[in-house]
Amino acid sequence: MIDPDLLLSGPRGRRMLLELAVELELQHPLPPERAVGDAVVAASFALRTAREDGATRLAAFVGDVTPQAGHSHAGATSEQVAAALSALLARGNAERPDSLDPAAVHRALVRAVDMAAYWQEPGTEDAVAAHPAVREALRPLADRLAADPAAVWRDAPVAVRDQWAVAWDGHEPETPTDPAEVLREWRERVDENVARARRDRPADPSANWSGEWWSTPPRRLARSARRLADVSGGIPAALEFVEDSLGWEEANVRRLGVPAHLRIMEVRSADDWARLCREHPLDVTPEVRQDWFRTTGRDGTWLIPDWASVAAEYDAVHLTVAAYLSAGTAIPVDADAHADAASVIAGWNPDETYWFTDRVRLVDAVEPWRFVDRERWEPVTD
């Protein structure tokens, strides 16, 4: 079972809940003046206007967005969002089914993932969802989603017999012949980037600089995710859950064969991520300082896992959907040598596994998929 507090603690979980509330509103419509969707649009517009006027900046500290000067500019409409949420959820309580519509939950998560951007300030909708009144109004929905019978897979370990790799725009999935070399090259590039940033960039976290802000293993490694059994058609998760997607309309999918008895690190929570950073620390502060300050509001030491070191202990690392919902927050690491350090899960996709071994193999035929009517993926059958 997923902890409801986890769903409320980070921008992706809160955004998923807000999107799900809008989905539920289609089942229990409210008058326009009390509608959740309309209230969110109004609150987002007010906050966006305040930002453009230079009147506000939102800062997030260890998973909690703290309003600073000017946030009251959007306070009234945020309160309206909270009121609309409370009315919607109270209205649906008496006639709600035992479980949430899996397709509605799926769509809400897809939109929450697609809106992730960890090189800039939180989006205005994310900021609205982080308002204390809105977050409290979302709690009943978080409780319900956490207890939903269909939610079990979101905290499940990697499905080793059900892994699917994806490649976009006419390319086919590939696996590297020498993952160890990929990891060595990655570590060399990170060291070079950090050294260059230390030399060339200012220490001011608010300076207008950007760099490699993601904390994933190297993208050239094999990576995969399961099929989604709770969504019609058994669509591969790697097709649907893509952070900040580039609008791809064609993809090739292929099953990844995984041998038994591999050592897989399961990241099921922010605590698991922090442990990886403590046990395999890599200081990337100069490279990510400005990006992660913008997205979290925190200035300090930043660590990511040294994936080349992790690979000496594990054959793969898997990020559960539950852990993904902690993405975008500053996660305290509390390392002995880095007492003030934190980290960010950034650039990952839900249920994604990166493979550090050459023992995984692409098997079976390639499945072509196409994005249809700008709203859904379907297998190509002609």
Chain-wide mean pLDDT for the chain? 87
Pairwise CA distance, residues 255 & 364, whole Å = 6
**CB contact burial 22-61 (16+ within 10 A = b; e otherwise):** bbbbeeeebeeeebbbbbbbbbbebbbebbeeeebbbbbe
Provide the whole-model pTM.
Answer: 0.90
In the prediction, which pLDDT does 126 show? 93
pLDDT at 343: 96
- What's the Cα-to-Cα distance from 374 to each of 9, 198, 241, 248, 274, rounded to whole Å? 31, 43, 15, 10, 38
Coarse DSSP helix, strand, coil percentages of the chain, rounded to the nearest 5 percent: 45, 20, 40
How many percent of the chain have pLDDT more than 90? 63
The pLDDT value given to residue 277: 96
Give the pLDDT of residue 226. Answer: 95
- What is the arithmetic mean of pLDDT over 337-363? 93
Please compute the mean of the pLDDT values over residues 157-175 and round it to a whole number.
94
Question: What pLDDT does 41 receive?
Answer: 87
Per-residue pLDDT tens digits for 200-236? 999 999 999 999 999 999 999 999 999 987 665 689 9
Give dist(CA 11, CA 369) in Å, integer: 30
Amino acid code (one letter) for 58 = L
Rounded to an integer, what distance in angstroms lies between the CA atom of residue 50 and that of residue 141? 29
Q: What is the DSSP string of 18-44?
A: HHHHHHHHHHS---GGG-HHHHHHHHH
Burial of 370 per CB tally in 10 Å (0-12, 13-18, 19+): middle
In this structure, the strands spanning 361-372 and 281-283 are: unpaired
Reported confidence tier of residue 379, pLDDT bands at 50, 70, 90: very high
3-state secondary structure of 91: helix
Digit-coded pLDDT (tens) for 91-148: 755 455 556 888 888 889 999 999 998 999 888 999 999 999 999 999 999 999 988 8
What pLDDT sits at residue 241?
93
Highest mean pLDDT among 233-242, 335-344, 356-365: 356-365
Residue 232 is predicted with a pLDDT of 58
pLDDT attached to residue 148: 84
Residue-level pLDDT at 70: 37
Question: 324: pLDDT confidence band, cut at 50, 70 and 90?
Answer: very high
Instruction: Report pLDDT digits (tens) over 266-285.
Output: 999 999 999 999 999 999 99
* Of 348, 310, 90, 130, residue with least CA distance to 219: 348
Mean pLDDT, residues 82-99: 73
- Highest mean pLDDT: which range of 126-140, 181-195, 225-239, 243-257: 181-195
Q: Both tokens of residue 371?
A: 């994005």
Angle CA 116–120–121, to nearest 5:
90
State mean pLDDT over 146-152: 77
For position 152, what pLDDT does the model report? 63
Phi, psi of 314 (to 5 degrees): -130, 160
**Strand 316-319 with 264-267, pairing:** parallel
Calculate mean pLDDT across residues 156-182. 95
Tell me: the pLDDT tens digits for 44-64?
888 888 777 654 444 332 233
Residues 348 and 116: their CA atoms lie apart, in Å, by: 10
Three-state secondary-structure class, residue 283 = strand
Provide the pLDDT for residue 205: 96
Both structure tokens of 179: 């993952």
Question: Which residues neighbour 203 within 8 Å (Cβ) at sequence distance 6 or greater?
Answer: 289
Can you tell me the mean pLDDT for 333-341?
Answer: 77
The pLDDT assigned to 54 comes to: 58
Among 242, 239, 240, 243, CA closest to 253: 239
E strand or H helix at 305, and its extent?
A: strand 303-305
What's the pLDDT at 73? 37
| Unique residue bearing structure tokens 């519509």 | 101
| Confidence label for 66 from pLDDT (cuts 50, 70 and 90) | very low
